Amino acid sequence: MSTPTRTLKRRPLRTVLLALVTALVPLLAAVTLTAPPAAAARAAVPTATLTEVTGFGTNPSNLQMYLYVPDSVTAHPAVVVAVHYCTGSGPAMYSGTEWAQLADTYGFVVIYPSVTRASKCFDVSSPQALKRNGGSDPVGIKSMIDWVTDTYSADTSKIYATGISSGAMMTNVLLGDYPDVFAAGAAFSGVPFGCFATTDGSEWNSACANGTITHTPQEWGDLVRAAYPGYTGTRPRMQVWHGTEDATLRYPNFGEEIKEWTNVLGVSQTPAATDSPVSGWTRTRYGSTGDQAPVEAISLQGVGHNLYAYGMASRALTFFGLDGSGPAPQPQPGACKVTATTSAWNTGLTASVTITNTGTTTVNGWQLAFTLPAGQAITNGWGATYAPTTGAVTATNVSYDGTLAPSASVTIGYQASHTGNSAAPPAFTLNGTACTAS
């Protein structure tokens, strides 16, 4: 008996493929609809530990990226780029500064770029480095920021740079190349943007290091503006630190940085406030008197190149505005009282100002801040030093009246010219504390 057989008609290959495609299209559509977005596929790093990130984006100079994310990282965190010194590294910057501990407290993310070239110095010299998207280290650092922004939905209005020595120079460069990226920077022992420029491939500029390169404020500002021609947006604020005995990057660079950034930010080179927050320090603020002035400069008397010390990052953090203190310290009022009177004549006046400590602790060293009425200018004073002589003034104690015990008072005074308004200042703050005025 013969075995039954079934004849199958062979279908053309084109017909088979069309049928397969028709069947697969709904399945592929379903997969596409349910697949996670590409950004979500990027894995966040472990928290509370320094982690190297690879493949973070365009990186023409082969930098390494190290990242610290605290357990307490906030939604849409701020980002601080902490840039190391020559011979240093990202891990050395992590272990040698308190930025990670501050991140634990305030919830921001810290990027630690790390040089792989032999010198372990950042490129702040080449034409590529001194131009937006020109290549070299700044491009790699910008890629690191983009990676963090994408991965953690970082707040792009709160991105900051800070660095020591070579890292301070890179801070100047980053703020010049990417003014639209950074909100502020803090440079410890650096030089102005463009000061270290070379065209021969050298990483070192002896003339700049020795403090012999000087420019007018306009010339310095033009160097910064040339890094991103046509940019008209907001420029980042800048804080600069320098020791008077710096033998590596000489002290004149400090003054040149001030000239550069006051010009870039369009503020006067005359300090709006001058004080001494620590013995041997002179702090000047330009453009305003608050903690987030456009430019802040701290000079350390008798200190060399290695000036960075524990606690300075906290002061930079305050300048950034990331410590929760707002635009200025917000102490409770009522710890002081000020009585101010004036005696006027045609174009001048004499003011008497009595400060009383109504708090419960002794004040050792004080600064009294107030704003002169329009048209007034201090011509001389006693019991304090006064700077500037118009507008927002800070009176700083002299050697014999700097201590105010609870309930104790001190009277200071000044003479001023006026153009018609001879009134006393309406409000005062003592060491940042709002005083009761009478």
By annotation, the residues acting in catalysis are 165
Q: How far apart are CA 313 and CA 308, in angstroms?
A: 9
- ∠ CA(102), CA(104), CA(42), 5° rounding? 115
311 Ramachandran zone, left/alpha/beta (phi>0; psi -120 to 50): left
Q: Could you tell me the two tokens for 415?
A: 């003479």
Chain centre distance of CA 97: 16
Query: How many C-beta neighbours within 10 Å does residue 420 have?
Result: 11
Chain centre distance of CA 236: 8
Chain centre distance of CA 259: 17
Residue 408: strand, helix, or coil: coil
Q: How far apart are CA 282 and CA 239, in angstroms?
A: 13
Q: How far apart are CA 385 and CA 395, in angstroms?
A: 5
C-alpha distances in Å from residue 335, one per residue of 87, 369, 411, 424 = 48, 15, 17, 21
Q: How far apart are CA 160 and CA 292, in angstroms?
A: 13
Q: How far apart are CA 431 and CA 419, in angstroms?
A: 30
Query: How many C-beta neighbours within 10 Å does residue 88 have?
Result: 22
Residue written as token pair 């104690």: 397
